[in-house]
Amino acid sequence: MKVDIAGVLIDNITKREALDQIDNFVQSDSPHYIVTPYSEQIIFALQDKEYLQVLNKSSLALPDGIGILWAAKFLSLKGNWLASVWQIIYTGAAIIFNPTYVRSVIREQIPGNRLAYDLAKLAADNNYSLAFVGGQDNVAAQAAYELKKLYPSVKINLALSGRPFDNQIIKEISESNSDILIIAHSPPHQERWIAENLSKLDVKLAIGLGGTFDYLAGKRAVRPDFMHQMGLEWLWRLITQPWRIKRIWNAVPVFIWKIYKYKIIK
């Protein structure tokens, strides 16, 4: 089932169900791409209808951030503009104090930086091959090295960083004979690039996971589990990556304001 978040259609499935579908995609005869929307991407989609279509044409749209789960619950509640202000307050508080309530519309958050490990395990268990493309320096190769420590049998056919996303890299991906492509490029660029080039990549599945290679390679600290459970990943990013304050501003207060406006005028 799809849940409408300001026009972006999010799949309301568990991670286990998502991995089963991904397995089916890899075994199918046609290529697929997956997106993992979080609050900042919803803002991009509100501003750019072409990007909205890129997200909605994906084979799966998995809820990456807690903001997506919050928005799903908030938008499900009835009320005028004044009631909606109060709903922002108590649904926001529920992220910390009553997480089951916030997850009553979309059941499960599926963070991209954790999904990467599941994709590696799926590949190792089923003899699928991976390609890692994106990031700076040699982070893709470092991420591949760390994953092979966990899953020694996983096949990573390509690991490229610090390269432009041009025709040459398309050629190298196509010639790598990889089943699953994971790219690290900031949104909205990564989703656009995948959608535009999917037919030329010769992969069964493509997904953009932003800065995930940095986490896999150990270049960035992973947030403590309790902060994930409390929906405070944005705070962890602010503490550990203060230069991202503009993006965090867009992903939290601006996102809340945009979702509020969408609800009262739709």
**Whole-number pLDDT of residue 229:** 65
Task: Output the pLDDT for position 38.
Answer: 94
Closest CA to 91 of 81, 101, 78: 101
* Distance separating alpha carbons of residues 208 and 221, to the nearest angstrom: 20
**What is the predicted pLDDT for the residue at 250?**
82
Q: For residue 44, give the nearest of 230, 184, 193, 251 by alpha carbon.
A: 251
Q: Among 264, 259, 222, which residue's Cα sits nearest to residue 45?
A: 259
Can you say whether the dihedral through the CA atoms of 65, 70, 73, 75 is positive or negative? negative
- Cα atoms found within 13 Å of the Cα of residue 189, Cβ hemisphere only: 11
Distance of alpha carbon 72 from alpha carbon 6, whole angstroms: 9
> If DSSP codes are grouped into helix, strand and coil, which group holds residue 121?
helix
Closest CA to 68 of 110, 98, 101: 110
Torsion of CA 245, 251, 254, 256, to 10 degrees: -140
| pLDDT score, position 251 | 83
Q: How far from chain centre, in Å, is Cα 71?
A: 16
Question: Alpha-carbon distance 83 to 107, whole Å?
Answer: 24
Tokens of 187: 């949104």
Q: What is the pLDDT along the chain (266 residues), one digit of tens a residue?
A: 899 999 999 999 999 999 999 999 999 999 999 999 999 999 999 999 999 999 999 999 999 989 999 999 999 999 999 999 999 999 999 999 999 999 999 999 999 889 999 999 999 999 999 999 999 989 999 999 999 999 999 999 999 999 999 999 999 999 999 999 999 988 899 999 999 999 999 999 999 998 899 989 887 766 667 666 666 676 666 667 777 778 778 888 999 999 999 999 87
Which pLDDT does position 243 carry in this prediction?
73
